[in-house]
Amino acid sequence: MRLLFALLALGGSAGFAAAQADYVKKATRTATIRAALAAKGLPDLGGQWLHAGPFDFSGDEAFDAPLPPDKAIDVTATYAGKGGVPIRWLPFEKFELGKVVDLQKLYPAARTKAATYLLHDFESKAAFTLPLSLGSDDTLTVTFNGERLLHGNYSRAAVADSDRVDLKVKVGKNRLVLKVGQYAFDWGVYVAPELPGDTDATLRKKIDRDFPPESKTPVVAFGGAGEGKAYAIETFTTPENCVLEVGGLGFRPDGKLLACTRRGEVWLIDNPTNPAKAKFTRFAAGLHEALGLHVLDDRTVLVAQRPELTRLTDTDGDGVADLFTTVCDKWGVSGDYHEYAFGPAVDKAGNAFLTLNVGFGGGHQAKAAWRGWCVKVSPNGDMEPWAYGVRSPNGVTFSPDGDLFYADNQGEWVASNKLQHLQRGKFYGHQAGLKWVKDSPFAGLVKETVASGMQYDGTDPKRPNAPKVFPAVDPPAIWFPYGRMGQSASEPKWDTTAGKFGPFAGQCFVGDQTRSVVMRVALEKVNGVFQGACFPFRSGLQCGVNRLAFGPDGSLYVGQTNRGWGSVGGKPYGLQRIKFTGEMPAEIHAIKVTADGFALTFTQPLDPATVTRPDSVNLKSYTYVYMSNYGAPETDQQAEPTADRKLSADGKTLTLSAPGRAKGRVYEFRLDGVKTLAGEPILHPEAYYTLNELPK
């Protein structure tokens, strides 16, 4: 022990490398790293943490406006907090390192526009550099020993390793302060110490072997390594001058791939079906946050910018666009950062459909014309307001049958992420866009009652004078349970590869930007209304999934970005390909509603003995309340009996009775005990069916 402390005193983190202790594996990577630090006599950030909050975090300048603890910290002081309520520094009971900590539990009444401070004082017997992994929902400022190391104005989910800082720990007392701002809904923080840079190679290898770094942010309900047997991921290497924050993807007839970016560029990718030999050249630049494209031919592409729909043309065939033509710029832009424009989805007649994001907080969310709407642009540039009530509709596309769909993101008036059938004149729930109904073809149609299946909370304290009637809310085809099926749904794309991509031909695939995953959807139409089930499909991608495109080789191309939004995976942007390996996965293929229950089909025959066990199949249901809050909980959860089960002769269809079914509910299936005839468990044993209609 004397030798250990002598080494620490002499060399800081050099002592960490030199004084090798036996490796002690704990339950998690963070716990194991903390044990290794403690074994060297180094601080591991354990012990008492304090918190002070909530402070008011409202107004456009809230992020940079100093609050009292920014000026000076006195742990005995009392401050004026949000709403003038006195607050002081208090112990943060059970603060957990290496896990996302829910700050909302500390301040249940502060749902929006708030900030809190976390403080940890510790002693060190050596000077060394301690890397820190961080995540936050939303903003994050890190100050260590009076020096500000990070000041990030984010609107994102709290996940591991979104940010990293190096703490220059000194001998004696050290102080770490985190400021976490809350814009809306979830409020969380992630803090975890990492291994110092000169850690003994053997120790680092053991920890990385038992706890791969990417495993720190597991995606709940997804299949991990087993997914790769059927669907392999390949990564494109981008040029140094290419910041490929993908906003749109589309294949040209000549087989080349176009990708537009949030930086306002369009890149042309030669030989995309061979990622190792793909070549990138810049096709266009100077656009304003391009978040979607539609290829017209080998020289022409439509691109959605924030303020307009633009046609880019390579008139001389040299591989670079030289003619930029405004097709339509008849919607508004106020400067709100959240006013994205998505699309275009183009029908057979050449009409382009775009979805226009609402603003985010700070006054009216549709202060610019047609925000919160889907608009239709004719080939000659005329614009028709087409449907309304969208919030953050990041992805609009046509199905192979010509039906228009979009994916929306959880937020105010949107209980959870959803996939919606988009139809002319329909209202989809977000009330900001109602401001423009008076100027639309639908003026005078705003006094219908609320649709069944979505309950309006008339006692919402945030809206005591809220109207009790407004346009009927069209129900989504699919609800994606928040967290379990992603957190930020993006573009839906249908598998039109006729089996090249595996057993799910004709089904829909939807990306998730926060969780960096691709989900799968099997729809059906009952009484003329779309509904169906969503399933996990593929995790392990390097960055937030923003755009999807099926290529001529039958692979799924995945465009990625995380700037400002945050995502699992560790990379800020990129392009990857998901390729079917030919190995049939053991999956639930689809779920259909029947006269008295549900019918589940599978990709492989099931073992009948595993189906009949009482606990092998479980079913529950819930609904959502329609209200102004940022998201809504799963309400009225009920267990659904499934005692009556029948397996078809070929073992691929399981029918279940569910006598208590009701419209407007989500049915959650768990098949943890079911196995195939080959003894293989179902890769993704969970599914979620949105029930809008019962068979007549």
How many C-beta neighbours within 10 Å does residue 452 have? Answer: 13
DSSP secondary-structure letter at 413?
T
For residue 615, the model assigns a pLDDT of 84
**Arithmetic mean of pLDDT, 427-431:** 93
For residue 452, the model assigns a pLDDT of 34
Q: Higher model confidence: residue 692 or residue 83? A: 692
**How far apart are alpha carbons 28 and 629 in whole angstroms?**
35
Q: Which of the residue ranges 136-140, 230-234, 441-445, 625-629 has the most confident prediction, judged by mean pLDDT?
A: 230-234
The pTM score is 0.71
Task: Tell me the angle at which helices 201-210 and 29-39 cross, rounded to the nearest 10 degrees.
Answer: 160
For residue 213, the model assigns a pLDDT of 53
How many C-beta neighbours within 10 Å does residue 639 have? Answer: 10
The class level of CATH for 588-691 reads mainly beta
Flag the least confident range among 155-164, 375-384, 647-656, 682-691. Answer: 155-164
* Residue 148 φ/ψ, nearest 5 degrees: -80, 120
pLDDT band at 7 (very low <50, low <70, confident <90, very high): very low
Q: Which of the residue ranges 1-10, 153-162, 363-372, 394-403 has the most confident prediction, judged by mean pLDDT?
A: 394-403
Q: Please write the tens of the pLDDT for every residue from 541-564.
A: 999 999 999 999 999 999 999 988
CATH of 224-580, one of 2.120.10.30, 3.40.50.300, 3.40.50.920, 3.40.190.10: 2.120.10.30
The residues pairing with 427 across neighbouring beta strands, listed in sequence order, are 388, 473
How many C-beta neighbours within 10 Å does residue 350 have? Answer: 12
Contact 490, 545 (CB under 8 A): yes
- Whether residue 460 is predicted with pLDDT greater than 60 in this model: the reply is no
Contact 549, 560 (CB under 8 A): no
Give me the amino acid identity at 592.
Answer: K
Percent of the chain with pLDDT over 90: 70
Instruction: Reply yes or no on domain 2-216 having CATH 3.40.50.720.
Output: no
For residue 154, the model assigns a pLDDT of 73
**Arithmetic mean of pLDDT, 471-484:** 92
- Whether residue 458 is predicted with pLDDT greater than 60 in this model: the reply is no
Longest dimension (CA), the chain: 84
Domain boundaries, the chain: 2-216, 224-580, 588-691
pLDDT band at 176 (very low <50, low <70, confident <90, very high): very high
**Arithmetic mean of pLDDT, 258-284:** 96
Q: Please write the tens of the pLDDT for every residue from 187-212.
A: 999 999 988 876 777 787 788 777 76
Contact 644, 198 (CB under 8 A): no
For residue 627, the model assigns a pLDDT of 87
| Cis peptide bond upstream of 138, omega within 30 | yes
pLDDT band at 571 (very low <50, low <70, confident <90, very high): confident
